[in-house]
Structures are given as structure tokens and as C-alpha cells.
Amino acid sequence: MFFIWKSFMVYQFSFRYFSQKFTNPIITNHGVWETRECIIIRLIDAKNNVSWGEISPISWFGSETIKQALDFCYQLPKAITQEIILAIPDNLPACQFAFESALVMEKATNFNLTYSGLLSAGKLALNQWGNLWEQGYKTFKWKIGVDEINQELEIFDLLISSLPTSAKLRLDANGGLTYQEAELWLKKCDQFSSKIEFIEQPLPVDKFREMQELSNSYFTTIALDESIANLHQLELCFQQGWRGIFVIKPGIFGSPFRLKEFCKKHQIDVVFSSVFETEIGRQAALQLAAELSGNNRAVGFGINHFFQPQESNWLESLWKTF
């Protein structure tokens, strides 16, 4: 295993709860999300090297809750080892990500990646994309399955005709469509295929077979997201023959080490996606994306416009609080 040589090391462990309000609440088929809550963890080794990790769960996606993650952190000893970290159970995937990332934390770098800018649900998207376009974004993701379908199809017409020819649009239903609604959307997307990259999680997680059927019936590619929230689910969908796109959110997926093993073994078409993490989780997730994105798909990390800019000393300040 990659970091076995560190197995004798003991780390001083501490953590802090941290929360940020979204500038615009995130509205999806799962409901309204106002505040991002997370836990920042810190490890210090015997040579005083400091490394960081971030636990940013999304329980409606199937990860642990913030409460479960906090309970886990509280019961850990003040000094921990690699053994303890590698034994974090699979029902705490956001914790697995945070602690393993902290173990192998690398120096902050700029990655050679392209980014997809996230648009809010509904009409908001219409006056959001222009700003992002000026910042250099060429790929956008718009949330659907939130309002009445005819209303959304109307907004879609406005959005798709206003987007420049070279722009690409992803639609994300968060599992909120019925089979018939998914067909309407797919028909629509097939008409604008030059501007549509894919439609993400049209149906609920328990409708795998139906999504396979839809992906065989339409030109537009389907991407699984909620269906493959963790390694176990990814393995199941892969075994059942899914060869469309796989959206991976490293922040809640679980062990990055095992994710790497899977991606190196199987050539899957993957899109990396944010969980609205801070720069700590973002750095670790983008590191993985840079290593594992075999294709040229934009990463879904164009989400900074949903947060107020962070003070440069926020981490320092956070560690002064109790």
C-alpha cells in the first residue's frame, strides 16, 4: 500500500466545526440547502509537519450526517496512527476522505483542469451564466427537476438559445424526474445535441434499469451521480454494465486510495464534482481529479460564486476558537 511506510507515525489530532452560508441557497429536487457545515481536521506529525483534511458530508446523498462525523471525531484519541485512519468504517465516507487526504496531503498547486460553472435552478440561471462566461467558463450545469416541468422547459429554451455556440450545458435532475418527464427532457436535449454534454441522474437511485433503458433509447448521454455516491455503489453499477458517465464527488465518496485503485483498473468516463467544500477539501479533491481524469471533461468545481470569499487567515482564526 502506498503509505505503509508511514505506519509507525503518530499524529496529534485536532478538529474544528465550521459553517458557511450560501450566497444563494442551493435548491435541488432534494430541497433547499442554506448552510454548508463541515469539520476541518488537523494532523501534526513528530517533526511538526502540519496537514489538513475536510469532512463535508451530504447526508441526503447517502453519506454520514455532520452529527455522526462530529461524534466520530470526539471519540478519537488525541494521538492517532495510520492504522486508525485506514480502519474508518465505510458508513463514514466523508471522514475516510478527510483523514486519508490529510495523510497524503501535497503542496497546493494549480491544476491543469477545465471547470464547469454551476447555475442555480429556475430563472436565476439566465442572468448567472454571463458572469461565469466572462470568467472563462465554457461548461455550465443547471439544476432541473425543481419546478413544474413545462416551466423548466420554457426556461431551458431561453437558456440554450442564449448560450454561445461553443458553450456546453449539463442538466442535473438530482433524481427528480419521472420516466415520462425524463423522456421529454431527453427528446429536448437530442434536439440541441451540439450544446448538451449530458443529463445527470434523471431518475431516483432505485431506477437503475430504467436509466439504462433511457441511455439506450436517446442520443444524449446520461451521467449517474446519486446512484454512485460511494465505492460500493460505483462497483455495483459498473458490474451491472453502466458505461455512461460516472459523476464522482471525492468529498463523500470514501477512501481516495480505493477510488484510485478502481479508476486505474477500470477505464471509466468520469466527471469530478464538488460537495461545496472549503479550499482544504477542494485541494485534495482536485488532486485526485488531476490524477484520475482520463478524459477532458470539465470538473464540477465552479462553485465559488456560492460562497463569500474567505479571509486569508480563516484557518488560523478557526484554531483559536474552542
Ligand X SMILES: O=C(O)CCC(=O)c1ccccc1C(=O)O
By CB under 5 A, the residues from 88 to 107 that bind Mg ion are none
Query: What is the Cα–Cα distance from 303 to 119, expressed in whole angstroms?
Result: 9
Taking the complex as a whole, the smallest distance from the CB of residue 304 to ligand X amounts, in Å, to: 11
Query: What is the Cα–Cα distance from 107 to 109, expressed in whole angstroms?
Result: 6
Residue 205: how many other CB atoms lie within 10 Å: 18
Task: Tell me the C-alpha to C-alpha distance, in Å, between residue 125 and each of 24, 109, 159, 196, 317.
Answer: 12, 31, 8, 16, 35
Please check whether residue 172 is in contact with residue 114, taking contact to mean a CB–CB distance below 8 angstroms.
Answer: no
Which residue in the set 100, 172, 197, 277 belongs to the binding site for Mg ion (CB under 5 A)?
172
Report if residue 128 touches ligand X, rule: CB under 6 A.
Answer: no
Which 8-state DSSP code applies to residue 295? S
Binding segment (CB under 5 A) for Mg ion, from list 114-122, 168-176, 253-261, 282-290: 168-176
Binding segment (CB under 5 A) for Mg ion, from list 59-67, 178-186, 192-200, 312-320: 192-200
Please check whether residue 187 is in contact with residue 210, taking contact to mean a CB–CB distance below 8 angstroms.
Answer: no
Q: What residues are labeled active site? A: 143, 249
Q: Shortest CA distance to 114 belongs to which of 139, 95, 83?
A: 139
Residue, CB closest to ligand X: 300
By CB under 6 A, the residues from 186 to 245 that bind ligand X are 225
Give the pairing type, strands 269-272 and 245-248.
parallel
Q: Which is nearer to ligand X, 101 or 139 (CB)?
A: 139
Binding segment (CB under 6 A) for ligand X, from list 191-199, 209-217, 269-277, 287-295: 269-277
Which residue in the set 128, 174, 233, 304 belongs to the binding site for ligand X (CB under 6 A)?
174
Residue, CB closest to Mg ion: 225
Phi and psi for 256 in degrees, rounded to 5?
-65, -30
By CB under 5 A, the residues from 221 to 260 that bind Mg ion are 225
Report if residue 276 touches ligand X, rule: CB under 6 A.
Answer: yes
Which residue in the set 54, 64, 100, 200 belongs to the binding site for Mg ion (CB under 5 A)?
200
Report if residue 58 touches ligand X, rule: CB under 6 A.
Answer: yes
Largest CA distance in the chain: 61
Report if residue 29 touches ligand X, rule: CB under 6 A.
Answer: no
Q: Shortest CA distance to 237 belongs to which of 212, 216, 214?
A: 212
Which stretches of the chain bind Mg ion, using CB under 5 A? 172, 200, 225
